[in-house]
Structure 1
């Protein structure tokens, strides 16, 4: 069974969410503090961390930052009562793969969980090279100019969708479906935020005409080969 670490100190949220995850077939371990969450995430064999932003001891953002700094690729779904765009951006920058605001609909959250699990299980042995970017699927590793760069899971999946179709325009709906499993996110800023972070990490923030990832207005994006 797939193991999920739920970091949530509010029992009114943790208990029903644990039950819902159990009904979906996941085994759930609950952590109630930041330090406990960090220790368990680094020492366990979890496939997903559902991470509340407002944990005592160490907040969720710092837990996520420390996980990524230590090389963990554990999928992270952040929960937060803060829905300001700045907090959304900070959460993604800390290395979160997805972000759900409280109060949330349980059905929506479970759909996000399923999407993260699907993406996590789709590794293959292919190696793709386009220009100076090399993507090694089996190792989930990306090198730019021979130097390995650290990408969050969603950033990696976004790059893979584009680089697998290098030279083609990939629509926003296709990207949302393949990376997030939900084209209904088309009205949100999720894709644009992740694209911004991906461009920054691969050094693709120069003049528009010279960018590897071109924006095709009203349609989607194209990775130039």
Structure 2
């Protein structure tokens, strides 16, 4: 992990812990998981934030939160199937935030980022996908030890796709999120599609593999961390080989 991400202690003994750890790692965090309150009391001293499942089998979750808070100021998020009273009790026990189970990956990552920013631990985390590293603060992209030079829009496009890798983005949404169009109708989407394809093609060539950015024909694009670093792989047949520009030349702002 480039530069090391925020270290997250996950205290849980429920199903899905391995998936949570994998997801956190994909978003640039450095997770470590323990299953008991006793292990949490030792491990929390070397982390930046703690995630506590309040339904632990061996230890009352609220008691654990109070004991952690009594010895540390580490930011802490509790997650459980909360009633309003349980949420209040969790906050009073020392949690800085609460996430209700079953939680969504994007919500958890967003809450972690917000909590860490409030704690001044780190700005947005580095995104890791195999050898690919995307550092939003430095606006730097690396594949292994190689720095990948990107234009402003290339970086914003890659970072958006990678930071929400579970999502499939339409061209219309990419125009709104990357090129900042207030409204996008069918005519604008059609005119700008080639510009988006060109940016995607350029990114694939610069990254040395077409497999991080997946084309879903007729729909849009998504990011995958299951990429093969194959510099000889063919470019996407839908994309042009020209160097991209940062604004769609054939489209005017709405």
Aligned counterpart, 1:50: 51
- Give the C-alpha shift of residue 67 in structure 1: 1.5
| Native 8 Å contact 1:34 1:56 kept in 2 | no
RMSD: 1.6
Aligned counterpart, 1:111: 110
> Which structure: larger Rg?
2
TM-score between both structures, scaled by the size of structure 2: 0.44
Distance 1:65 1:115 in 2: 22
Matched, 1:32 2:35: yes
Distance 1:4 1:67 in 2: 14
Distance 1:20 1:120 in 2: 22
Structure 1 counterpart SS, 2:102: coil
TM superposition outliers: structure 1 runs of 4+ over 3 Å: none
Structure 1 counterpart SS, 2:43: helix
- Give the C-alpha shift of residue 113 in structure 1: 0.7
Aligned counterpart, 1:76: 76
Of Structure 1 and Structure 2, the greater helix share is in 1
| Native 8 Å contact 1:65 1:95 kept in 2 | yes
Distance 1:48 1:92 in 2: 15
Structure 2 unmatched runs, 5+: 123-254
- Give the C-alpha shift of residue 119 in structure 1: 1.2
Structure 2 counterpart SS, 1:58: coil
Aligned residues: 118
| Native 8 Å contact 1:35 1:57 kept in 2 | no
Aligned counterpart, 2:91: 92
Distance 1:92 1:5 in 2: 18
